[in-house]
Amino acid sequence: MKRHPVAIVLPLFVIVSCTLCAGGELTREAELRALREEKSRVLAPDRRNRIESVLLWMQERKIKERLETPGAGFKGFRPKLGGLSTGSGFAFGVQFDRPRTWSDRLDLSFSAAASPRKYQSYDAIFDFPRLLHQRVRLTASMRYRNMPQEDYFGLGPDTSKGDRSDYLYEDTAYELAAGLRPIPHLFLGSRLGWLHTNVGEGTDRRFPSTTSVFDEKTAPGLSQQADFLRGELFAELDYRDFAGNPHRGAYYRLGYAIFDDVTLHRYGFGRLEAEVQQYLSFNHGHRVIALRFSTSLDHPRSGQSVPFYLQRTLGGSNDLRGFREFRFRDQNVMVINLEYRWEAWIGLDMALFADAGKVFRDRSDFDLRNLESDVGIGFRFNVEKGVFWRIDIARSREGTRVFMKFNHVF
């Protein structure tokens, strides 16, 4: 019997990651510190170019940490860059944090962000991350989003980029989450929440509104929107050295979520998601091969359907970078990303990458045939533990796309 390609690849990921995580007593942080000190002794200041000098200045003064660390800024207020839906344009906002209140138990966070395309997001988070010696975490959150120019090309892998339309998507979410860390690297979590959704006419006048060119058959959930009771169970195994800028280790996630349509009883479904990330480093961590496999599989309840606005998509800065945001959409998706990364200067990594993936309706199409693909080059401006700005340039059969984001791709 022919073995499924994914059934061969996934065990290899696990074996390699466990081998990597078992060896090496010297942490990457110590290695980088030693290498940086050695480099500072042998390099004269006048040999650094201007870009490298600026990046080194940002590292030494911890500019990224000051912008992102809860409680930093002016009396808890700090700027918020990005964080909205892909395709929203440049987003800017403000965040207020009050960490370690209530006898060091509670972290409070409130944020608001908007973009020139009139995207908006507001959220409040009440987080208890240090219960029972940091083994238990409880979180309550509230969020409102308004996204008036979301793209929709239709369902399935055979849509045309000429079918582009846009719609307004609005949601309000309330959620309770609980997590347990029984052993190092392993996190077991659950979520329970309420999701209110709304779909309306898009505001991008360059394209027709989704509400005028699609119907309930070609865009399930377009005519009526439901309220959902949403629950999820998941497990994460994380061996990465730095989650914000990994150079070695691995990350695995498996989760199952239920969306129960409690108002219309037409759009209930379940969702199985899995993700594998693997990082192989060499040359003292200055060269990295990064690999990610991710999939999401939806199955509607009997007689019901998955609303188009909740279906997973491919295209954009986080998966198929050679295609426009939300270019492909269906009940099931899978994507593979491969990157070769190297340190060009202090504070700047470059990457050559390739992406491949597809959307599909039938589970029998869960294979490596008929994949959409792209290749490209990336620039990642970083500090030791995180990427604060990246530029990715990708080429696919539909042209060249350029993305500038305030986060790492994976």
Q: What is the pLDDT of residues 311-323, one digit of tens each?
A: 999 999 999 999 9
Residue type, 14: V
User: What residues are paired with 390 via a beta bridge?
Assistant: 380, 405
Q: Which residues of 194-212 are buried (b: 16+ CB within 10 A; e: fewer)?
A: ebebebeebebeeebbbbe
Is 232 part of any domain?
yes
Quick check: is 292 in a domain?
Answer: yes
pLDDT at 89: 83
Q: What is the pLDDT of residue 58?
A: 64
In terms of pLDDT, which residue wins out, 208 or 53?
Answer: 208
Tell me whether residue 154 is in a domain: yes
Measured over the CA atoms of residue 99, residue 64, residue 33 and residue 27, the dihedral's sign is: positive
pLDDT-derived band of residue 182, with 50, 70 and 90 as boundaries?
very high
In this predicted model, what pLDDT tens digit does every residue of 96-118 receive, in sequence order?
Answer: 999 999 999 999 999 999 999 99
For residue 370, give every residue at least 6 positions away whose Cβ sits within 8 Å of its Cβ, in sequence order, or none.
Answer: 157, 358
Percent of the chain with pLDDT over 90: 75
Total of domains in the chain: 1
Q: What is the CATH number of the domain that holds 277?
A: 2.40.160.50
Whether 57 shows a pLDDT value over 90: the answer reads no
Residue 377 in any domain: the answer is yes
Token code pair at residue 184:
């190092």
**Residue 225 tokens, joined:** 């929107």
Output the pLDDT for position 285.
85
- What is the mean predicted confidence (pLDDT) over 285-292? 96
pLDDT at 4: 45
Tell me the average pLDDT across 385-393. Answer: 92
Residue keyed to tokens 């029972």: 132
To 10 degrees, the CA torsion angle through 68, 73, 79, 81?
-20
> Does residue 156 carry a pLDDT above 90?
yes
What's the pLDDT band for 68 if we cut at 50, 70, 90? low
Is residue 308 a contact partner of residue 216, using CB atoms and an 8 Å limit?
A: no
For residue 410, being part of any structural domain is answered with no
347 in any annotated domain: yes
Asked whether the predicted pLDDT for residue 32 surpasses 60, the reply is no
- Nearest-Å Rg of the Cα atoms of the chain is 22
pLDDT at residue 59, as a whole number:
62
Q: How confident is the model at residue 83 (pLDDT cuts 50, 70, 90)?
A: confident
Tokens (6 digits) for 103: 């006898």
Task: Please identify which residue in the block is written with the tokens 């994460």.
Answer: 236
The pLDDT value recorded for residue 85 is 82
The candidate with the shortest Cα–Cα distance to 161, out of 322, 308, 328, is 328
pLDDT digits (tens, 9 = 90+) for 5-29: 444 344 434 433 444 344 443 345 5
| 333-347: pLDDT as tens digits | 999 999 999 999 888
* Nearest CA among 378, 330, 328 for reference residue 356: 328
pLDDT digits (tens, 9 = 90+) for 194-241: 999 999 999 999 999 999 999 999 999 999 999 999 999 999 999 999
Cα distance between residue 283 and residue 353, in whole Å: 19
Whether the CB-CB separation of 301 and 374 falls below 8 Å is answered with no
How far, in Å, CA of 274 to CA of 293, rounded? 8
Q: What is the 3-state secondary structure (H, E, C) of the chain?
A: CCCCHHHHHHHHHHHHHHHHHHCCCCCHHHHHHHHHHHHHHHCCHHHCCHHHHHHHHHHHCCHHHHHHCCCCCECCEEEEECCCCCCCCCCEEEEEEEEEHHHHCEEEEEEEEECCCCCEEEEEEEEEEEECCCCEEEEEEEEEEEEEEEEECCCECCCCHHHCEEEEEEEEEEEEEEEECCCCCEEEEEEEEEEEEEEEECCCCCCCEHHHHCCCCCCCCCCCCCEEEEEEEEEEEECCCCCECCCCEEEEEEEEEEEEECCCCCCCEEEEEEEEEEEEEECCCCEEEEEEEEEEEEEECCCCCCCHHHCCEECCCCCCCCCCCCCEECCEEEEEEEEEEEEEECCEEEEEEEEEEEEECCHHHCCCCCCEEEEEEEEEEEECCEEEEEEEEEEECCEEEEEEECCCCC
Domain that holds residue 321: 5-405
Longest Cα–Cα distance of the chain, Å, equals 71
Q: Identify the band that residue 90 occupies on the pLDDT scale cut at 50, 70 and 90.
A: confident
**Is residue 303 assigned to a domain?**
yes
* 157 domain-assigned: yes
